[in-house]
Amino acid sequence: MKPSIKKYLRLIPLVTVAVGLLILISCSEDENPAPVVTELSVKTPPTKAVYKNGEVLDLSGLEVSLLYDNDESIDVEFESFGANGITTSVNSGFEITEALTLVITHVESGKTTNQEIAINPVVEVVIKTPPTQINYLIGEVLDLSGLEVTLTRGNGDTENVVLSDFESKGLEVSVEDGIEIEDNFTELTVTHTISGESVTQEIIINTVSSISIKTPPTNIQYYVGEYLETDGLSITLNLDNGDTRDLEISDFENYGVTTNPLDGSEITDNDSELVITHGESGQTVSQSITILTLTDIDGNTYSHLRIGDQLWMTENLKTTKYQNGDEIGTTSPSDLDISEENSPQYQWSYNGDNDNVSTYGRLYTLYVALDDRNVCPEGWHIPSTEEFQSLISYLIENGFNYDGSTNGNKIGKAIASTMLWNSYTFEEGVPGNNPETNNTSGFNGVGSGTRVNFDTYFTGQGVYTYWWSTDTNDEGLGTAFRIQNFQVEADLGTIGDVNTGAPCRCIRD
């Protein structure tokens, strides 16, 4: 026999012993298997097992017992469920909307146990405190501030909920806070959305029984052609329940209050009052408006007209006094040379004939037009060249050129009166050519002429007119607005001598 075979033969007894030991160990294990869970039970229920609608499940405090087939048992707290192969049908954080049975399962054994989760539902909603305001006019906005309700639950518990907590407590109102009140809105409903329980709060729609003026407009005196301004106006609405509402002009639209005329309307001869109306009730109140007559310090009255955004006299000034009553002198004779006077302040009728004043007005030196005492009636003034230029631009842009065009300056006829211009048929579009077509602007410029001081005579009546402005050129000469019988323009030019006498037109401040 070879030595290697002998070696293997010596190992056979050792292998036999090892196999025998393995068989013994295996038999020992089969006789002592691992314990098996035979029962699962709740040892301690969750700390919170009764809920309100909408609350979330909290399983803290829950503890179960596992009973094994060897009669041993272990207790497992909720926090260790996962480590011990235990699950729940719903977990912490689940929103409770109805009573439920929580199923607890030991996954390996399939054993289960139940824990009842009870609910304490809302069974009644009542108004604890109504909104601060429940009386409204149509057009006002709903204000729910102050609203508070009481929730009563099935076990008799109550809970007071203020408006700011409605959403978190599952409460809704049938209308949104801040909506505009309409005539069919007589109540609001507060509903607990989970339980469906609700309560209504009456909203009372009042009517306006009368209106009174609280504060009149700042301006209640107007010249015809001015724009109505309702600034400062406030009224009081008197309600049928004895309440009142004070409204500023900015509140009128929300409350359905209107004025006639409207704010910004052009005042006419017929606008002697401002009528304020509450549309829903039809109640009205009137505020008187004074239509002013344009009168100078001498008592002369003047017509006037709105052209664009400007209010102009449509007659030449006739006064012999400044606004404060100081006299404006004249010369005797009327053609007296005043060239040597430093600041002559005079007025004249054309040719010294007062019969000319009613038609042509008076002629004044530039010094009168510039005097701080103001030769115009109160609230009116001598125009600047800028104001005259605004008039020119407006008339051109709005088609007052004699040919209807809107470029170039051809507005002389639109400014000139239909009478008192010498006939001048040699050029189309000048005041003396077909004068019956003049004055489309209403400015009514008559050919007043001037008093030329350096020659001490009156000239130009029916041929041209200049109206003083408050501006002078670099040489100190006066700048005037003019129309002339031999030109189609109405433009700005200089008068050769500040001592020249020329008419004045006034414009509203």
Q: What pLDDT does 14 receive?
A: 47
* Cross-sheet strand order for the sheet of 273-278: 257-260, 273-278, 284-288
CB atoms within 10 A of CB 346: 22
Q: Give yes or no: residues 110 and 126 share one domain.
A: no
Nearest to 272 by CA among 259, 290, 260: 290
pTM, entire model: 0.70
Q: Give yes or no: residues 389 and 467 share one domain.
A: yes
Q: Give yes or no: residues 227 and 188 share one domain.
A: no
Choosing from 179, 205, 231, the residue where a domain stops is 205
Burial 350-383 (b: 16+ CB within 10 A, else e): bbbeeebbeebbbbbbbbbbbbeebbbbeebbbb
**Is residue 257 a part of any domain in this protein?**
yes
CA separation (Å) from 432 to 297, 358, 412, 429, 505?
34, 22, 10, 8, 21
Contact 233, 219 (CB under 8 A): no
**Is residue 166 a part of any domain in this protein?**
yes
**Is residue 17 a part of any domain in this protein?**
no
Q: Give yes or no: residues 101 and 243 share one domain.
A: no
Q: Give yes or no: residues 362 and 466 share one domain.
A: yes
Q: Give yes or no: residues 477 and 362 share one domain.
A: yes
d(CA 127, CA 131): 10
**Concatenated DSSP letters for 223-242?**
-TTPBP--TT-EEEEEETTS
Nearest-Å Rg of the Cα atoms of the chain is 51
Range of the domain at 66: 37-119
Nearest to 448 by CA among 404, 481, 399, 489: 481
d(CA 151, CA 126): 7
Q: Tell me the three state secondary structure of residue 77.
A: strand
**Is residue 127 a part of any domain in this protein?**
yes
Q: Give yes or no: residues 237 and 128 share one domain.
A: no
Q: How many domains, the chain?
A: 4
Helical residues (DSSP H) of 361-489, grouped into ranges: 366-370, 385-397, 412-415
Q: Give yes or no: residues 495 and 355 share one domain.
A: yes
**Is residue 12 a part of any domain in this protein?**
no
Nearest to 230 by CA among 238, 240, 242, 222: 222
Choosing from 242, 266, 291, the residue where a domain stops is 291
Q: What pLDDT does 454 receive?
A: 80
What does the longest C-alpha to C-alpha distance in the chain come to?
A: 179
Q: Give yes or no: residues 151 and 193 share one domain.
A: yes
Choosing from 291, 319, 346, the residue where a domain stops is 291
Structure tokens at 428: 């189309």
Contact 196, 188 (CB under 8 A): no
Structure tokens at 455: 């020659």
**Concatenated DSSP letters for 307-339?**
ETTEEEESS----SB-TTS-B-B--SSTT---T
Exposed, middle or buried: residue 218 (CB in 10 Å: 0-12, 13-18, 19+)?
exposed
**Is residue 5 a part of any domain in this protein?**
no
Contact 387, 468 (CB under 8 A): no
CA separation (Å) from 355 to 18, 351, 359, 362, 463?
157, 10, 8, 11, 19
Q: Give yes or no: residues 349 and 474 share one domain.
A: yes
d(CA 98, CA 83): 30
Residue 37: beta bridge partners?
68
Q: Tell me the three state secondary structure of residue 252.
A: coil
**Is residue 296 a part of any domain in this protein?**
no
Q: What pLDDT does 30 receive?
A: 52
- Each of the 509 residues of the chain gets a pLDDT tens digit; together they read 444 444 444 544 444 444 444 444 444 445 678 899 999 999 999 999 888 878 899 999 999 999 999 999 999 999 999 999 999 999 999 998 888 999 999 999 999 999 999 888 899 999 999 999 999 998 899 999 999 999 999 889 999 999 999 999 999 999 999 999 988 889 999 999 988 999 999 999 999 999 999 999 999 999 999 999 999 999 999 999 999 999 999 999 989 999 999 999 999 999 999 999 999 999 999 999 999 999 999 999 999 999 999 999 999 999 999 999 999 999 999 999 998 898 899 999 999 999 999 999 999 999 999 999 999 999 999 999 999 999 999 999 999 999 999 999 999 999 999 999 999 999 999 999 999 999 999 999 999 999 998 888 999 999 999 999 999 988 888 999 999 999 999 999 998 788 999 999 999 99
403 alpha carbon, distance to own chain's centre = 44
Angle at 357 between CA 353 and CA 358, to 5 degrees: 135
Q: Give yes or no: residues 342 and 219 share one domain.
A: no
d(CA 85, CA 502): 114
Q: Classify 77 in phi/psi space as left (phi over 0), alpha (psi -120 to 50) or beta.
A: beta
The domain spanning residue 269 has which CATH number? 2.60.40.3630
Q: Give yes or no: residues 365 and 309 share one domain.
A: yes
**Is residue 233 a part of any domain in this protein?**
yes
Contact 173, 166 (CB under 8 A): yes
Q: What pLDDT does 31 receive?
A: 63
